[in-house]
Structure 1
Amino acid sequence: MILLLLSGCGALNGKPAGEELNLVLAGMDGSDAVSFEGAAALLIGGQPVSESALYYGGKIEDHNKVSLYSLLPDKPGMTKAAAQEGLNKLEKSRSATPAYYTRLEKKDGEWQIQSAASPESGAGNPLAALNPLRQLEELEHLEKQVTEETGSGRGSKVLRIQLSPGEARRQLKAELEQEMQAIRPEAGKAQDTAGRRTEVAAAMNTLWVQKENELQQKLAEAEITSVYFLKVDNKRNLPKRLTWTRTVSYPASADPAEVETYVTKVDFYGYH
């Protein structure tokens, strides 16, 4: 058993856990449509940041189309007790949620936004990053260790998927770089009538470069862990729930407020 765990896959019903994961992901690919409801939040120092909580629902259709929309905090069915402490805190931190909508489609191997709506406040639409089908697809290719959790409910099994430290860092770095590029000042829009960059545009770009350097420095100092739990329906071999916890800490700091934990969960139902 020790050798199996060290090799990255525990035995599960006679199959390596990694192989079981691949079978579940293949079963998901074979479903024409499925509905889902989920939640996401950020915890700092173990305490939920109320404004970060987001509750959403949606549907996957034709294997490559996903629609997502935000849900009100008191949505029926969104009060299920969570197994992990972070999820329990997430459930207790519900606050008013702005309205969002996003429709995505996978084309040429990339997920593209087909339409989206955000609050009039101008805040960015966060739903594209919560696409559960993309999250499941990524699990197939990430460097990871897959084992079975004990004590899962009757008729189901739970796979624990932990990314290697290097993979967890690469994953977060790619996400942060994408977000930074999205807010980078555009040189073409930062010119005055004489075609020269304005002082405001130059200051904006200087600030962006400064924040980018600070971000890279923080990332270099951080210790990152990324763990998924995939609950699977034994009978149909299909996902029932996916939870994900990413923790970012700084070993050189003794301040608990420096520990950031991002938690998501999504429940799947109505397969056909």
Structure 2
Amino acid sequence: MSSYESYLRIPEWRFLDESISAQKRSALESFAADDTLCHLVGQQMSIPAVRTWVHDKTIVLGIQDHRLPNISEATSLLENAGYQSIVRNSGGLAVVLDEGVLNVSMVLSEQNTSIDIPTGYEIMLEFVKLLFPEAGDRIQAYEIVGSYCPGSYDLSIEGLKFAGISQRRLRQGIAVQVYLCIEGSGAKRAELIRELYEAGLNGEETKFVYPTIKPEVMASLSELLNLKLTVSDVNVRVQMLLRSLAENVVTGGFRDDEMDMYAFYLNRVVERNKKMLIK
């Protein structure tokens, strides 16, 4: 067992399945949910948690994306393509969410043991490798140049990116979030982000260097593994993996006594997003 797997093999996991229930809701609700879990888990008011979530056509912008010189024109272009835009509160650049993308948030506490940023990434990498045993060690973590939201923990198979990891830290809680492109065309999603940057820059020079998107370097796991994988299939895999890692898995959404905290974080995320999108 690797040292990172030891973070996964614990007595109890909490599992919140929002892979269907969140689809028609704003992705802002998911970021509020992760903030709530950070607070609860970080302060040991909850056991460590894994939450799965899916949202319909949404572009999640990073803070730098919101600073594009022609961001209004860019978001209008996305709206015309049927996508809404929000600004997220964790690091990174623009990503695509749709019904073929499964997001997994793993929330751990730093109350008793410090977990540095590289360790957080490695724990999620280990989880993804366990989730897809048929890919095994072919899953690698390094920056895929030309992908959207590039970073040192881009997950790829044979140079084609299918996932990216980000982190959010709050109240001694750590939410490590991964988006997994399961179904459909990775290249088509990347093409949308390429158009976002083209419209947002419109030939202007900026201090921040935005990525030059090459759609051909991105793919879905269905394409990479030559399997008819669905989001639903992978969501079941997540649950089965948790049951193999822990003696007990507690399922269900936020309890009544946790909803006030969720409402607080949701209001905070919504207000922040409103300010960010005012240009």
TM-score, normalization: structure 1?
Answer: 0.24
Of Structure 1 and Structure 2, the greater helix share is in 2
Of Structure 1 and Structure 2, the greater strand share is in 1
